[in-house]
Structure 1
């Protein structure tokens, strides 16, 4: 007989939402039209080292799920393994340097780490939703302080046998040169915030917020946590609109913010002091209509855990059970997905240490990577990299360093680090 749980479970969701671009501010805006066809660009890289995989030589590189990877200003790599609940620091030569904290319940120990960021002051920031806090560590991994979390007020839903809460977890997009954080709120009133560590957040830019997707006639989900069955009330997780306009952002070297929040090819460069638009970069590339094949591919991706991530935690729920719970909840959302009518031209946005803007375009099927445009922060168009020849890395580092997270033939995470030697037009 299956036991029915009455423990409270905290559910936090990190997901995308549809919308259109927000109106520009009253300040004069300069525009840069990147007209004409694609100019082919070639990237030459050199392999540096490989970590992880089923044949990992040492215990420290036996990763199970690398959810984030970042370079600091000195070329060190920070890796977050969400299943192991640990943060590992690797030197530019691929050698282990140290681990940041450890799993535990005490001050500075990691209960449920969901994000990590290297700060320009050589400190390390870890987001821990288990403690509902931000942790600061020095460059050697020693705990410094606990600060107020980046969060939105939770909503509360009561269901049979369980009292649950749902919270939209704001996305940490990037770090400013002065260690302030660029945050995206992608559900509800979509906006970008600037968070000052230890002080709180202020809104710097608000995107258009479309009407919410209609709630389907689904049923409550009953899932297992260990040997217990846990009912999740209908509505605890908001319905997601797939292929809606993204809300992307990255920080430039001069403190400006590159933003994408529309289905078309439009990149706004904001002033960080007041969020006003100083430049708009555009290309005449039209969004594609969403087809049934695209919708089916999106369902398969979401069901396999390749899209929205649900974070689950609660008293008495182990890291292993929380991971299983997150997977089940993610899969339960697939039948409730709604779809926009157009595929956004831009799927991702990154800025490297040279302040080049890497614009990832959507593939023709709506799921696969498309070509990548490389721009200067002033609007210069350097060219376009073919999706068959180049993939945008999971992290950019100084001196051309790039890191890629992948899986080996045994589905074990591997980390590949290369150096970008040159970008040339063909």
Structure 2
């Protein structure tokens, strides 16, 4: 499952004129960091009662407009990567993304180390994809990966401003212009910069095209043909701007004791509890879309963007409270929200991370809040073409129950958040991958297999 927010690249060059703040030129980029951390008990085989409320009797029918029907899941743990492993290839500093190919191999992006690792379905090392460098196919700043249906691998590199295509064997094949929108040049008294929005990469179609999302401004889904460009396929609902926000962008950031005034638009204001824009490609090429605060999953045709059907459940959004807003601020301050990547001459290592943290913290007080908590917070599609829907938790911040649907309108049941959370990636044969933090907050990757999923009491 690809979980990437709309990406904003802002190049900041601070003037060295008298009285102005001087700092190295940097590129700031907002990227996702909403990976779910899941604790899985030690026994390799685990049977869980997963539901909401009392177990359902055998005769209870699971329907979209009916009550929650609890499920029982049987899982087994396959292997664990990272942590205290003595193998160098498992020494991850940040597992930014993980994906399965159609043979069950894992493709792992470590953004901090600027490397892409391929691991077999048995947990053994297969290969690195490229290496850090300036040459063709070499990585300068990899910020996203994707896997096509024929197991080719796509790497998005903002350092090269390019999209790299690698074969299933890891060999470099092609380099193309990055998926992006036009940049806008801005200038203020102390900052000269440009802002560029990079659409989020959400998945791939059976024919090798990519599904991307624009989540800033006029929200939309695009279909990108590698080497040829993008076309809009679906225009999502875009809420009107909040009057309380005053501005759609952040006007000032603090770096240590220094304040930097920003030109309008260079760093967009982050909205929490607004309607999501979630999408995933189904097996037949149709697109499952969520773009409102209610429980609506639209099944969209990829040729013309028309809505074939809407999957709905009678579950309503609930009001955002002051406590929810404070919890959201704490989550963002603790690194649970947007992250920032800083790059440029003189920006690397600890200095880069310090600048990233400073910019991210500056975004927290500037957050805007919607009035309602969306019913749906996450969505994914597994290799069996089932749609997994994560509902918002009662506190508005934590993940809630998980519904399992089919594109034809079937409702299979609901998994309790007490025992199950959405994996960061679905693989073939029931494989699921979870990005977690192990001892000393070292990132690890836990891989399970979903053996069975049945109605409780059935």
Tell whether the structures are fold-level matches, with TM greater than 0.5.
yes
Give how far 1:335 is off: 0.4
| Alignment partner of 2:452 out of 408, 422, 426 | 422
Question: What do residues 121-149 of structure 1 show as CA deviations (whole Å, max 9, x unaligned)?
Answer: 22110000111110111122221111111
Q: Spell out the pairing of 1:283-294 with structure 2 (5 A cutoff).
A: 283-294=313-324
CA contact (8 A) 2:26 2:344 kept: yes
Q: Please, which runs of 5 or more residues in structure 1 have no aligned partner?
A: 17-31
Q: Partners of 2:446 and 2:260 in 1: how far apart?
A: 41
Q: Partners of 1:322 and 1:134 in 2: how far apart?
A: 24
| Alignment partner of 2:29 out of 4, 7, 12 | 12
- Residue 13 of structure 1 aligns to a residue whose secondary structure is strand
Give how far 1:219 is off: 5.9
- Residue 115 of structure 1 aligns to a residue whose secondary structure is strand
Give how far 1:106 is off: 1.8
Q: Partners of 1:218 and 1:423 in 2: how far apart?
A: 46
CA contact (8 A) 1:6 1:161 kept: no
CA contact (8 A) 2:288 2:297 kept: yes
| Alignment partner of 2:76 out of 18, 23, 46 | 46
- Count of paired positions: 406
Question: What do residues 367-418 of structure 1 show as CA deviations (whole Å, max 9, x unaligned)?
Answer: 1110000011111000000000111100000000000000013100011001
Task: Mark the CA change 1:211 to 1:327 in structure 2 (over 3 Å): closer, same or farther.
Answer: same
| Alignment partner of 2:371 out of 341, 346, 349 | 341
Task: Mark the CA change 1:9 to 1:162 in structure 2 (over 3 Å): closer, same or farther.
Answer: farther
Find the counterpart in structure 2 of residue 28 from structure 1. none
Instruction: Kindly indicate whether residue 285 of structure 2 is the aligned counterpart of residue 268 of structure 1.
Output: no
Task: Mark the CA change 1:395 to 1:136 in structure 2 (over 3 Å): closer, same or farther.
Answer: same
- Residue 335 of structure 1 aligns to a residue whose secondary structure is coil
| Alignment partner of 2:419 out of 381, 389, 405 | 389
Find the counterpart in structure 2 of residue 215 from structure 1. 246
Q: Please, which runs of 5 or more residues in structure 2 have no aligned partner?
A: 1-19, 34-61
Q: Partners of 2:276 and 2:413 in 1: how far apart?
A: 23
| Alignment partner of 2:220 out of 191, 199, 205 | 191
Task: Mark the CA change 1:102 to 1:323 in structure 2 (over 3 Å): closer, same or farther.
Answer: farther
- Residue 413 of structure 2 aligns to a residue whose secondary structure is strand
Find the counterpart in structure 1 of residue 37 from structure 2. none
Q: Spell out the pairing of 1:301-340 with structure 2 (5 A cutoff).
A: 301-318=331-348, 320-340=350-370
Task: Mark the CA change 1:190 to 1:14 in structure 2 (over 3 Å): closer, same or farther.
Answer: farther
Find the counterpart in structure 2 of residue 22 from structure 1. none
Q: TM-score, normalised by structure 1?
A: 0.90
CA contact (8 A) 2:78 2:449 kept: yes
| Alignment partner of 1:66 out of 95, 105, 116 | 95
Tell me which moved more, 4-13 or 35-44.
4-13
Q: Spell out the pairing of 1:229-268 with structure 2 (5 A cutoff).
A: 231=260, 233=262, 235=264, 236-268=266-298
Q: Partners of 1:219 and 1:269 in 2: how far apart?
A: 39
Task: Mark the CA change 1:388 to 1:72 in structure 2 (over 3 Å): closer, same or farther.
Answer: same
CA contact (8 A) 2:24 2:347 kept: no
Q: Partners of 2:347 and 2:339 in 1: how far apart?
A: 18
Instruction: Kindly indicate whether residue 110 of structure 2 is the aligned counterpart of residue 93 of structure 1.
Output: no
Q: Partners of 1:62 and 1:179 in 2: how far apart?
A: 32
Task: Mark the CA change 1:149 to 1:348 in structure 2 (over 3 Å): closer, same or farther.
Answer: same
Q: Partners of 2:32 and 2:274 in 1: how far apart?
A: 11
Tell me which moved more, 148-157 or 289-298.
148-157
CA contact (8 A) 2:250 2:262 kept: no
Instruction: Kindly indicate whether residue 392 of structure 2 is the aligned counterpart of residue 362 of structure 1.
Output: yes
Give how far 1:155 is off: 2.3
Q: Partners of 1:218 and 1:268 in 2: how far apart?
A: 33
